[in-house]
Chains A and B, each alone.
Chain A
Amino acid sequence: MASADTTQESIDSLQARVKGLERELSELKSDLAAANARPSPSLETPTHPDSTDGLTPDGWTWPLAADEYKRYGRQMILPQIGLEGQLKLKSSSVLIVGAGGLGCPAAAYLAGAGVGKLGLVDGDTVEVSNLHRQILHGTHKVDMRKVDSAIQSLKGLNPTIQYVAHREHLTPLTSLDIFAQYDVILDCTDHPTSRYLISDTAVLLGKPLVSASALKTEGQLMVLNDPPLPRGDPSGGPCYRCVFPRPPPAESLVSCGEGGILGPVVGTMGVLQALETIKLITRRAASSSASGSPEKPTPSLLLFSAYGSPPFRSIRLRSRRANCLACSALSPESGCITKESLSSGSLDYVQFCGVTKPVNILAADERVTATEYNNARKTGNTGKEQGVLIDVREKVLYDICHIDNSINIPYSTIVAESRRMPSPSPSPSTPTSSSVEAQNTQNTQNLQEAGNDATWFPNVPSNAPIHVICRLGNDSQLAVRRFQEMGLAQGGNRYIGDIKGGLKAWKDEVDKSWPEV
């Protein structure tokens, strides 16, 4: 045993050293690339068209440096960009909030296109589960700060522009100060609280906002507050609150970790954000437009459904909402959002969007730990009868891995079936003062009637104890209650309970080899 431990320790320590050296090497390489790319010794100073950077002794007088003509030539020969557009990009500053699935591709294309200054905000570190979609990070960067990892990759891509790392989560106390340093904001975050905070801050500071999101196989894209006219000016572009004035209920929220995300779907949305940002920065004033027609932005919401037909739909949005809390002419007395209310922290975005508390609705005798359940299983003592273990995760998760002999009934199916079940109505045979027990009896009958052709519930003895398990131990509790409400407890003759902490606890306590999904 001792020697096995020692071997494991030395493997771990070697792996850590390799990782550290790989990181150092990668940093050195990007520093070297930066040093090669610029005669100036400073890495943080952007080159200005009017500075002497790029000036060769023989008197370089062109507005861009020689290597910039080479680097950006392929986009500069497009009439939509041209020299004018490239100079606009070079003098622009862009802030990307979130260095994840959206922020990585957005940052890569904006760095490649040659924006002058690129800021990144993120407080997270890289995890292995990020890598299938967060393309600036790599296996050797796991545990590194996302912002540092991203900037390291970006420097390799284009070492000639300025990068600013904001290694923090955006908060109402910091958002105004950070946003003030940039011309355009990209919302690449993953939660309603940050979406409203970013939109409100952008409106207060008069910055256009390019917002995108993605989950599972779908994405959304909007260019908001464009043009970024002062609040109350109806010609200004709508903000996030104008389109979605009410946040979705916190209980209904699904993260990429829970709902899943296909890499190219979120990548597509991030690339489109970079495109819209380039269009916005290089947009010509109405008078100087080549076609003579004004390039007035029309607000739209682009929907991407990877498996839909057609996969793209563009929704025409309305202008600013007359009673919008952020961008309308509402007075502070009517509750509109101000710089003061934002930076003082008096606006509670978490409360506005709601919070989900861990579910804790079952009594102690309705719950067993993973260890207890495993011991009972081994001794065959899960109850008087052979019990049944019901796994209430979605089928796709169950199919990836599940405990032997467990049966899959997704929680969503249980909810749908319990809603389909007619609520017990007073009938001549049932006293109107029906007790809960009578109700349960009625429901049991309903279930048993439905049970003949109900394929969703396993055909097990009606007194077989039911144990319910899910991913983290929240849905399992709700499922236990639903089963009881359906009358499955047989008026208390049958045990129904859950496994505390779900499959995460199962992995921690019982089966270390359980694959983490």
Chain B
Amino acid sequence: MSSRPPPGHFTLLYFASATAFSKKASEHFESPLPLTKLFELLESKYPGIKENVLHSCAVTINLDYVDLDLDQGADAEPVMIKEGDEVAIIPPVSSG
């Protein structure tokens, strides 16, 4: 599923409803990338994903939850996605 990213890239994992847009479980993107640019990048690749998935999803970097509201505040140090990082798009699953 998630092979090691090639040099200069990071891995993005898609879970639950995110895969409805990506049609795959993971892919690689060029690094470094500011976290703030991630959603724009994905929206340009998968139109509609921002409103339907990213707006309500959790995001993790290397299995750590990143708080987009706080981390992307005006005075916060911008979070950079680095080479080799594993980033995940985790929409809430509600069914049971």
Answer whether residue A14 sits at the interface, using C-beta atoms and an 8 A cutoff. no
Q: Complex formed: what's the CA distance from A313 to B60 in Å? A: 11
Answer whether residue B74 sits at the interface, using C-beta atoms and an 8 A cutoff. no
Q: Is A248 a contact of B67 with CB atoms below 8 Å?
A: no
Residues of B within 8 A of A244 (CB): 56, 58, 92
Stretch at the interface among A16-24, A96-104, A142-150: A96-104
Residue among B20, B55, B65 facing the most chain A CB atoms (10 A cut-off): B65
Q: Is B92 a contact of A220 with CB atoms below 8 Å?
A: yes
Q: Is A308 a contact of B1 with CB atoms below 8 Å?
A: yes
Number of interface residues of B (CB under 8 A): 30
Contact sample, A vs B, 19 pairs, CB 8 Å cutoff: A189-B96, A212-B96, A213-B94, A214-B93, A214-B95, A214-B96, A218-B16, A243-B65, A244-B56, A248-B53, A249-B55, A252-B53, A255-B95, A261-B95, A301-B65, A301-B90, A315-B58, A317-B65, A322-B70
Q: Is A252 a contact of B17 with CB atoms below 8 Å?
A: yes
Residues of B within 8 A of A488 (CB): none
Q: Which residue of B lies closest to A218 (CB)?
A: B16
CB distance from A448 to the nearest CB of B (A): 22
**Knowing A213-B96, A303-B90 touch, does A248 contact B56 (C-beta < 8 A)?**
yes
Interface of A is mostly: mixed
Contact of B48 among A214, A305, A308, A415 (CB under 8 A): A415
Spell out A's residues near B (CB within 8 Å).
98, 100-103, 188-192, 195, 212-216, 218-220, 243-249, 251-256, 259, 261, 266, 269, 301, 303, 305, 308-309, 313-318, 321-323, 412, 415, 419
- Per-position 1/0 for B50-85, Cβ under 8 A of A: 011101101010011101011000000000000000
Q: Is B93 a contact of A213 with CB atoms below 8 Å?
A: yes
Q: Complex formed: what's the CA distance from A317 to B96 in Å? A: 22
Q: Is B65 a contact of A247 with CB atoms below 8 Å?
A: no
Residues of A within 8 A of B91 (CB): 248
Q: Which residue of A lies closest to B63 (CB)?
A: A315
Residues of B within 8 A of A220 (CB): 90, 92-93
Beyond A215-B16, A215-B94, A254-B95, 14 additional contacts (C-beta under 8 Å) are: A102-B96, A215-B93, A218-B93, A243-B58, A245-B69, A247-B56, A248-B17, A248-B52, A248-B53, A256-B95, A261-B95, A303-B90, A308-B1, A315-B63
Answer whether residue B25 sits at the interface, using C-beta atoms and an 8 A cutoff. yes
Q: Complex formed: what's the CA distance from A102 to B17 in Å? A: 20
Q: Complex formed: what's the CA distance from A190 to B15 in Å? A: 18
Q: Is B1 a contact of A309 with CB atoms below 8 Å?
A: yes
CB distance from B89 to the nearest CB of A (A): 11
Q: Is A190 a contact of B94 with CB atoms below 8 Å?
A: yes
Q: Complex formed: what's the CA distance from A94 to B78 in Å? A: 43
Residues of A within 8 A of B1 (CB): 308-309
Answer whether residue B32 sits at the interface, using C-beta atoms and an 8 A cutoff. no
Q: Is A254 a contact of B56 with CB atoms below 8 Å?
A: no
Q: Complex formed: what's the CA distance from A313 to B15 in Å? A: 11
Residues of B within 8 A of A322 (CB): 70
Q: Is B94 a contact of A192 with CB atoms below 8 Å?
A: yes
Q: Is A318 a contact of B67 with CB atoms below 8 Å?
A: yes
Contact of B94 among A248, A308, A323, A412 (CB under 8 A): A248
Q: Is B93 a contact of A219 with CB atoms below 8 Å?
A: yes
Question: Which 9 residue pairs spanning A and B have beta carbons closest together?
Answer: A213-B93, A215-B95, A102-B96, A248-B56, A244-B92, A419-B47, A246-B56, A252-B52, A190-B96
Residues of A within 8 A of B16 (CB): 215-216, 218
Q: Complex formed: what's the CA distance from A220 to B91 in Å? A: 10
Residues of B within 8 A of A255 (CB): 95
Q: Is B56 a contact of A98 with CB atoms below 8 Å?
A: no
Residues of B within 8 A of A305 (CB): 15, 25
CB distance from A446 to the nearest CB of B (A): 16
Q: Which residue of A lies closest to B20 (CB)?
A: A412
CB distance from B6 to the nearest CB of A (A): 19
